[in-house]
A and B are shown apart, each in its own frame.
Chain A
């Protein structure tokens, strides 16, 4: 692998994001159009100048025509990408390859998901073997929470309080994000006493089911200045597919996320980061459940193993803390339209790095870490993207 093949080669010159939420009145096409046009307007690029596109969705359609049909592009090379909850980020990564290799100068990237047409509270069922049927996403993360509490001797009541602090933080940040699904603050007591979804996880430990889309226009760095001065650079990517060992390998420990750690380390190496806790200014992590955010702090080197609680107690990851995490509310509060989530994270990092995040603006950030991730302990697909300001 050529470790310097990507760093600073590709620039993001425009981004867009729909409001996230329950869009009863919007179709997949509507959201694709809204996010794409916002990104193009932000970049100053017109659709006719786009040379290729990547579009990501998990369950809301198929093929590149997901983009060409609503945008009415003629004969544009478009790739549809699916990679679980990392789909949006995976679309960006593959689009960046297209730019970095020199084939295309201007590329559109879109991630979209329409979950609320299903009539379901939760995600649709995918066909699985009897061996793995009947299980839910919160249930699977609850396995991690139970084991984490046991392994690090956190009494369950204390554990629930730690998780509640993450929910309270992310709801606060969401209240400052105009495009977030939930814009309401919650109290610690509300979070702790909420109905149990999958013990030990309660209602406020779980992200909602959300519709939304996000988009980016990227280009080769050497031409980025033509479009704007405050373009944002891609510093590194990391992806690590699990072998699904949690169910199978008796040595697999549910209190750690080794794949997440591997993906982060790939991205850090590409970006030249040696001390993430010190060098990174803000992060978006995959808080599909609060326990996921907690375990990710440890996996990506923000907190020592088993000690995330110290940082949570110290407020390290709040907007005012040393290393703000999920500044826009995260999946928990901003929402989780699967295919859009990875790009939504980049949208927040992009906005923050440009200093345009308003009341939730982090002070003078230079480097942002974003990580979308599918699965659950023992069955993970983490995707890391590091974005940075130009020097």
Chain B
């Protein structure tokens, strides 16, 4: 039996009310709010967050591959999956791959993972979908798009959702696109896109897989399918013969927005958190064609725990005060940095040399005195034993805030920069910036946790490291 062994998700902390967008540009709001990646997040960091959530329910040592699906990799040339694998401290022999270019990337990666496990070339594969797309300022897309990520472990043992059937077909149609030079998603006239593209392809895929599996609409406990917007979601449910009230997974438009290739996967994670043994779930995803899967929930889901539900992610949030703050976070305009310090510097050599510390957040545990310290150093902080330590991962450790500041002088896109001294539960001090925080609510003694973030873009590349955030 091959299927989903674990699942996880990530919705960034911040929300932007759509009325703020409407206020900025005139016109009307479609209502609700959308999830916004913080200024220090991108598709790589959100992928790490979703994968960390997912790995809480999986056997990490059985992961043989990491497939990352995104149309918004921070790099055009350079593998994003390798960064994610490094941050997760996966073994060097793991097959890493980026699946990109299509909103269907996530379900294509899923298929590749299922095939690899079925073929016996991998015990399990971590599939992560992550997206941070930009709608042109003032466009409908700007209101519709949200940011987020989902992750699944596909494997052959401990399966909670067996994959019973698959369908795929491609369709070359110019409906949505970004050329190599575009920052914002472009679209052809919407009636053509929605009718000839989305609607026909989706119906073809769903009817095909249902027919192949000899099932009717009433056999489905839940249908999870991509939709460009909330109205089309209900229309599609009706076209597929489903009851929109009971059989269809809520696309979370009011709280999250359309998260591109991560959208259907995030809906699937939401559906799985409420699924019961025997339930049959349809997963259908659109983009340059259509993929469909039928999943059957197993008894194993009863004993499954670990990851936080999408609901948990959506309930833990902060609201951006204005559209201007969103513009700042996404750097849609040049931003005043003050006559302070020059741009940060970086060395690719130093990043490479310190990758265990910087990328995988590993500290050193002294073999002489047994104490743990960060950053890892040759001479023990406590007993001064030389070259007698082992590396220990810290990214799963919660911590207590020991002291902090709120620095208005330090440059950050989200002032004040909060510098925090944290004592991790493993007995390790962690000196770090605090993100996803309300400056008014920071207190000595509060619980925080490490989170993988982009520090800056010195030397023309992305510099990633770990910060801490109030426990979500």
Contacts and interface: CB of A to CB of B under 8 A. Distances in A.
Nearest to B426: A250
A170 to B, nearest CB: 20
Interface in A226-257: 243, 245-250, 252, 254
Nearest to B406: A199
Contacts of A127: 345, 347
B374 A120 contact: no
Contacts of B405: 139-140, 142-143, 145-146, 198-201
Interface range on chain A: under 10, 10 to 19, 20 to 34, or 35 or more? 35 or more
A201 B409 CA distance: 11
A129 B456 CA distance: 12
A278 interface: no
B435 to A, nearest CB: 12
A358 interface: no
A198 B338 contact: no
Among B409, B419, B444, the most chain A Cβ lie within 10 Å of the Cβ of B409
B176 interface: no
Nearest to A130: B465
A126 B340 CA distance: 13
A134 interface: yes
Interface in B421-472: 421, 423, 427-429, 431, 433, 444, 455-456, 463, 465
Contacts of B373: 248-249
Contact of A139 (B350, B419, B456): B419
Interface in A50-80: none
B306 interface: no
B374 A248 contact: yes
Contacts of A131: 354, 357-358, 375, 431, 465
A183 to B, nearest CB: 24
Contact of B403 (A119, A150, A245): A150
A359 interface: no
Interface stretch (B90-98, B130-138, B162-170, B410-418): B410-418
B351 A130 contact: yes
B54 to A, nearest CB: 26
Nearest to A143: B403
A247 B406 contact: no
A288 to B, nearest CB: 13
B184 to A, nearest CB: 29
A121 interface: yes
Among A125, A146, A249, the most chain B Cβ lie within 10 Å of the Cβ of A146
B234 interface: no
A197 interface: yes
A138 B410 CA distance: 9
A130 B455 contact: yes
B421 A143 contact: yes
Among B338, B403, B410, B421, the most chain A Cβ lie within 10 Å of the Cβ of B403
A198 B407 contact: yes
Given A133-B455, A250-B427, A122 B421 contact: no
A147 interface: yes
Contacts of B382: 249
B211 interface: no
Given A121-B340, A140-B419, A134 B429 contact: no
B429 A119 contact: no
Given A129-B350, A134-B433, A245-B381, A198 B344 contact: no
Contact of B431 (A138, A150, A197, A247): A247
A120 B465 contact: no
A246 B417 contact: no
A136 to B, nearest CB: 5
A101 interface: no
B177 interface: no
A196 interface: yes
A139 B411 CA distance: 12
A143 B416 CA distance: 14
Given A122-B340, A129-B350, A136 B421 contact: no
A164 B403 CA distance: 21
Contacts of B416: 196, 198-199
A134 B344 contact: yes
A131 to B, nearest CB: 6
Interface in A160-214: 195-201
A124 B342 contact: yes
B61 interface: no
Contacts of A147: 402-403, 421, 444
Interface string B53-69: 00000000000000000
Nearest to B339: A121
Nearest to A243: B381
Nearest to A150: B444
A254 B421 contact: yes
Interface in B346-375: 346-347, 350-351, 354, 357-358, 373-375
Contact of A246 (B344, B347, B421): B421
Given A134-B344, A143-B419, A198 B409 contact: yes
Given A124-B341, A131-B465, A247-B429, A146 B404 contact: yes
A247 B433 CA distance: 12
Contacts of B121: none
A198 B421 contact: no
Interface string B220-232: 0000000000000
A200 B455 CA distance: 24
A249 B429 contact: yes
A197 B409 contact: yes
A196 B339 CA distance: 17
A146 B345 contact: no
B408 interface: yes
Interface of B: 338-342, 344-347, 350-351, 354, 357-358, 373-375, 377, 381-382, 402-412, 416-417, 419, 421, 423, 427-429, 431, 433, 444, 455-456, 463, 465
Given A127-B345, A246-B421, 16 more contacts: A121-B340, A124-B342, A129-B358, A130-B455, A131-B375, A131-B431, A134-B344, A135-B407, A135-B410, A142-B405, A146-B403, A198-B408, A199-B416, A246-B431, A248-B373, A248-B429
Interface of A: 119-122, 124-125, 127, 129-136, 138-140, 142-147, 150, 195-201, 243, 245-250, 252, 254
16 contacts: A122-B341, A127-B345, A130-B463, A133-B455, A134-B410, A134-B456, A139-B407, A140-B405, A142-B407, A143-B405, A143-B419, A147-B403, A196-B408, A199-B416, A250-B427, A252-B429
